């Protein structure tokens, strides 16, 4: 995954929600079919790491639907969580259906700046 600050202002915080793919799944924001061809959801074989500046906190969820309210970031200038405390509270495991990545930058990520969260996945075939 590659994330770029495409704005005109430096960024101090970003949030990313990734729903791990499986046949019949929908987009994270748009409730439309992603046309995923994988019949089995991949499982995380490693914890995600961040390549580039900043720090990253990763939280996991084992249940659907995934809460995406945290993407609102509480409105302008806020980084407060918007999802209930009972979401994004599962441990790193092969049961995760999705991950929420919270990125923080100090100093701020300049416009055009790039970071790359990555992890290894394990695919099981039938």
The domain spans of the chain are: 11-28+57-113
Average pLDDT over residues 88-108: 91
Contact 93, 25 (CB under 8 A): no
pLDDT of residue 20: 85
Distance (Å, rounded) from C-alpha 105 to C-alpha 78? 15
Give the per-residue pLDDT at 9.
Answer: 92
Q: Quick check: 4 pLDDT over 70? A: yes
- Identify the three-state secondary structure at position 70: helix
Is residue 125 very low, low, confident or very high in pLDDT (cuts 50, 70, 90)?
A: very low
- Which range has the worst mean pLDDT, 30-34, 73-77, 78-82, 84-88? 73-77
The confidence band for 122, taking pLDDT boundaries of 50, 70 and 90, is: low
- Rounded to whole angstroms, the Cα distance separating 11 from 109 reads 5
Of 53, 60, 70, nearest to 19 by C-alpha is 60
| Whether pLDDT at 74 is above 80 | no
Q: What's the pLDDT at 121?
A: 64
Q: Under DSSP, is residue 93 helix (H, G, I), strand (E, B) or coil? A: coil
Low-confidence winner among 34-38, 49-53, 56-60, 103-107 (lowest mean pLDDT)? 34-38
What is the pLDDT of the chain when averaged over all its residues?
84
pTM, 2 dp: 0.81
């Amino acid at each position: 995954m590659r994330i770029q600050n495409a704005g005109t202002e430096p960024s101090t915080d970003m949030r990313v929600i990734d729903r791990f793919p499986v046949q019949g799944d929908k987009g994270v924001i748009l409730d439309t079919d992603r046309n995923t061809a994988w019949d089995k959801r991949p499982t995380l074989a490693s914890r995600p790491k961040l390549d580039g500046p900043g720090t990253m906190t990763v939280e996991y969820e084992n249940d659907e639907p995934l809460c995406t309210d945290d993407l609102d970031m509480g409105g302008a200038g806020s980084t407060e969580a918007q999802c209930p405390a009972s979401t994004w509270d599962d441990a790193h495991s092969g049961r995760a259906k999705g991950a929420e990545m919270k990125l923080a930058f100090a100093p701020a990520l300049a416009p055009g700046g790039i970071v790359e969260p990555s992890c290894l996945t394990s695919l099981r075939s039938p």
